Amino acid sequence: MSVRRWAIAGASGGIGAALVDQLAARAGVEVWALARGRLDGLPAHVRRLRLDYDDDASIREATEALAPLDGLIVATGWLHDLGRGLKPERSLRQQTREAFETAMRINVIGPALLAGNLLWRLPRDRPVRVAFLGARLGSISDNRLGGWHAYRASKAALHMLVRCYAIELRRTHPEAIIVALHPGTVSTKLAMPFLKGGRADQAFTPAEAARNLLAVLETLTAADSGGIFDWAGKPIKP
């Protein structure tokens, strides 16, 4: 059996760590975990690389070490930093430069630079699978509640980039599958402060979310490239 190589960016996160665990348990899969800090408790055979979106050299070096890949999931992301008083906006008057800059830096610019270094290096002769974790909140047509301006805007921008990458790679990598995936509400550091009143019980665990995301990503085909899909494989309108 030939070994397939998968990489997870944001491997220290709730969903990212669960993705690494599940892929590492599979036979014939070589897993690379990308994170900006130390990674403890990962299976010994998982390879580790440093990736910090604020350090261009780390993006370049990680992508050079990785190619060629069979699968990549970008599970980095930012919603709040309660310690710095940054939380999702409930009104337009709560918008701050700091929240917008942070959301754009981590949810858009970092993944874009990673893509810019990596996607053109993907193998051209097989159905490589690439997912960026987006969010239903980044759908403009689905937005009925408003609020969460910086996060919503950053995820809408990420969805747009995914569409651009899919169009651009269609010519050189006709079998590639490049999508945005919404994991559902998942009990992680990112979401927990906002899961009050029983919603925590309704949220997926990171392990459930990882299982769902891998199952969806494995059923998609090149015809789906550029789309946004939820944890059950249902398309989300931009």
Q: Which residues bind ligand NAP (CB under 6 A)?
A: 10, 12-16, 35-37, 51-54, 75-78, 106, 110, 133, 135, 182-183, 185-186, 188-191
Helix (H, G, I), strand (E, B) or coil at 99: helix
DSSP states of 10-64 as a string? STTSHHHHHHHHHHHTSTTEEEEEEESS---S--TT-EEEE--TT-HHHHHHHHH
* 204 secondary structure, DSSP code: B
For residue 220, which of 210, 209, 231 has the smallest C-alpha distance?
A: 231
Helix (H, G, I), strand (E, B) or coil at 228: strand
Instruction: Give me the least distance between CB of 45 and ligand NAP, in Å please.
Output: 20
Tokens of 63: 């992508």
- In this complex, which beta carbon is closest to ligand NAP, that of residue 185 or of residue 225? 185
Instruction: Give me the least distance between CB of 135 and ligand NAP, in Å please.
Output: 4
- Quote the CA–CA distance of 182 and 235 in Å, as a whole number: 10
H or E element, residue 167: helix 149-172
- In this complex, which beta carbon is closest to ligand NAP, that of residue 36 or of residue 149? 36
Instruction: Give me the least distance between CB of 153 and ligand NAP, in Å please.
Output: 13
Instruction: Give me the least distance between CB of 175 and ligand NAP, in Å please.
Output: 26
Instruction: Give me the least distance between CB of 201 and ligand NAP, in Å please.
Output: 14
